[in-house]
Structure 1
Amino acid sequence: MWEVDSDVGSRSTSSDGLRRRQGWDPEAESLASHMDELDEVLEEEEDGCPLPSTPEDQHLLDAEMAEVLKAGVLSDEIDLGALAHNAAEQAEEFVRKVWEASWNVCHFRHLPRWLQDNDYLHKGHRPPLPSFSACFASIFRIHTETGNIWTHLLGCVAFIGVAIYFLTRPSIEIQMQEKVIFGVFFIGILSIIVSLWDRFSEPRLRPLRAGVFMVFGLSGIVPAIHYGVTEGWFSQVSKASLGWLVLMGLLYILGAMFYALRVPERWFPGKCDIWFQSHQIFHVLVIVAAFVHYHGISELASYRVTVGECSMPPSTIAF
C-alpha cells in the first residue's frame, strides 16, 4: 500500500511539473489524457536523460549542456582543459578590446583606493586601464589626468631637444667632473624607480611625496652653500648666478606647496576636475623651475669659459 501511495505521489509531483511544462488546463483536459506523456517523462528521468521543455528550468538545461559537451569532447579526443583555457583567453581578449574602446570617465568614489589621490576632484577621473595601448590612447582624451600628462610630456620633449642640441655638438674629452655628474644622474634614476612603487602613490604618503619633490628642487643649495663658504657670497651672487638658483628653489617649493595643500580644488571642490588643479600647477612650476635652473647653469658655464677657470685643479677630484 505504501508503494502504491508513493507511486501515486511521485506521479502527482511529476504531473505538476508536466502541467507547468505543457500549460495544462484542468477545465479543458483531464489528467487521464496525459498519462501516456507522463509515463514518457518518468522514463526519461529514470534513464538520466531529461528533456526540459521550458528555458526556465535552468538546472536541467545546464545538466543537458554539460552532458552534450562532455560527450562531444570525449568522442573527438579533445583536451577539455585546453578547450576551456582557449575559451577563457578569447573571452578575456574580447572583454579587453570592448573595454578599451568604450571606457568612460568615472566619479572619484568609483576609483580603486590606490588611485584615490585627491578627493577634491570629483568627476572626470580616468579608470584603471588594462593595457599600454589603452593608456597611450587616453593621452588624447579629456579627464583629470589630461593636463598632468601634457604639462610633463611637453616639458619632456623640450628637454629631449636640449639634450640633442648638446649631444650633436663637437665632442670633448670626458673629465672626472663629468663622471661625477653622471653618477649623480644615475642616483636620481634610482630615486625615480622608488617613486614608481605602488605604495609610494597612496594618499597617506602625499606629504612624503611632496617632501621628496622639495628635496629634489633644493638639492642645488648644497653646492651653492659650498661655493659661498669658499669664494664668498658676493662672488656667488655676481659670478655664480645665485639669483637664478634661488628663483629655481622658490618655484620648486611653491609647486610642492600647491601639490601638498591641493589648492585651488580645496577651495572649489568639483570645479577644477579637468583644468587648473593643483597637480597641473605643480607640473607647470616644475618645468619653469627646470628651465630657470638650465639658464642659471648656462650662465655659470659662460662665465667659466669667458672669464677664468676653476681655481681647484681637476686632478684633486678622484674616486
Structure 2
Amino acid sequence: MEPSFNSVSQRRSATRRNASKGAERSKEGREKAQSQLLHWDELEEWQKDNEYIIRGYRSPLMQKLYLTMMTLAGMGAAFIVLDPEYAKPTHRGARTTVFISLGLCAVIPVTQLFLTHGFNELVSDMGVQWLLISGALYIAGALLYANRIPERLAPGRFDFFFASHQIFHFCVVLAALAHYQGVLISLRYRISQPNCGQ
C-alpha cells in the first residue's frame, strides 16, 4: 500500500508543478501581448488616418452599400404595407413579392461571405444553413399565403384551422427561431476571432 501512496503523491506534486508552470506561461503570454498593444494616443499622427484602425477590417464601401440597400428596400416595403391601395385583396401577390424580395436582399451579403470565407466555413462556423432554412420557411409561408393553399383546394374546410394565413404565421415563427439559432452560431464565431478581419 505504501508504494501506491507515494506514486499518487508524486503524481499530485507533478500535476501541481505543471499547473503552476502553465499559469506562469499564460501570464507571461498575456503580459507580452499587452506590451505590444498601443493606445490610440500613442500612435503617430500619420497612423491615425488608417481606415482599418478607424473603421475596422470591413470595407466602408460595402457597409454603405448594404445600409443603403436595406434602407431603400425597407422604405419600399413600408410604402407597400401602409398604402391603402395595396391593402386590397387584388394586391396580395404584390405584397407577397415585396415580402420575399425584402428577405432576398440577404443574398448579396451572404454571397460576399461565401467569396471571402468559403462554403465550409460558412456552414461549420457561421451557421449559414440556419439562415437558408429561415429563408425557405419565410418563402414557403408567403407562397402558401399568396396562393391561398390549402383553403383554395378545399373551400370551407379550412375556415377556422390550418388556413393559409395561420400557416404563414407559423412559418414566420419557425423562421425567426431558425434565424435566431443562426445568429447565435455566428455570434460565437465572431467572438472566437482574435480580430474583426478574420
Q: TM-score, normalised by structure 2?
A: 0.60
Q: What residue identity is the alignment partner of 1:211?
A: T
Partner of 2:152: 266
Partner of 1:304: 190
Aligned pair partner of 2:140 in 246, 254, 266: 254
1:219-234 pair list within 5 angstroms: 219-234=105-120
Aligned pair partner of 2:84 in 188, 192, 198: 198
Q: Deviations over 1:158-212 (max 9, x none)?
A: xxxxxxxxxxxxxxxxx899x9788746963662243121111222222211111
Kindly indicate which of the two structures has a greater share of residues assigned to helix. Answer: 2
Residues of 2 paired with 1:239 and 1:197: CA distance? 42
Partner of 1:215: 101
SS at match of 1:259: helix
Q: What residue identity is the alignment partner of 1:295?
A: Q
Over 3 Å counting, the alpha-carbon distance change for 1:290 and 1:191 in structure 2 is same
SS at match of 1:215: helix
Residues of 1 paired with 2:118 and 2:67: CA distance? 28
Partner of 1:281: 167
SS at match of 1:291: helix
Residues of 1 paired with 2:177 and 2:67: CA distance? 19
Structure 1 stretches of at least 4 aligned residues deviating more than 6 Å after TM superposition: 179-183
Q: Deviations over 1:16-66 (max 9, x none)?
A: xxxxxxxxxxxxxxxxxxxxxxxxxxxxxxxxxxxxxxxxxxxxxxxxxxx
Q: What residue identity is the alignment partner of 2:110?
A: A
1:278 Cα deviation (Å)?
0.2
Residues of 2 paired with 1:308 and 1:224: CA distance? 22
* 1:214/1:253 contact within 8 Å kept: yes
* 1:247/1:289 contact within 8 Å kept: yes
For structure 2, the residue ranges without an aligned partner over 5 or more in a row are: 1-54
Q: For the pair shown, which has the larger CA radius of gyration, 1 or 2? A: 1
Q: TM-score, normalised by structure 1?
A: 0.38
Q: Deviations over 1:218-259 (max 9, x none)?
A: 232221111001221121111221110110111011101111
* 1:217/1:248 contact within 8 Å kept: no
SS at match of 1:214: helix
Count how many residue pairs are aligned between Structure 1 and Structure 2. 137
* 2:77/2:98 contact within 8 Å kept: no
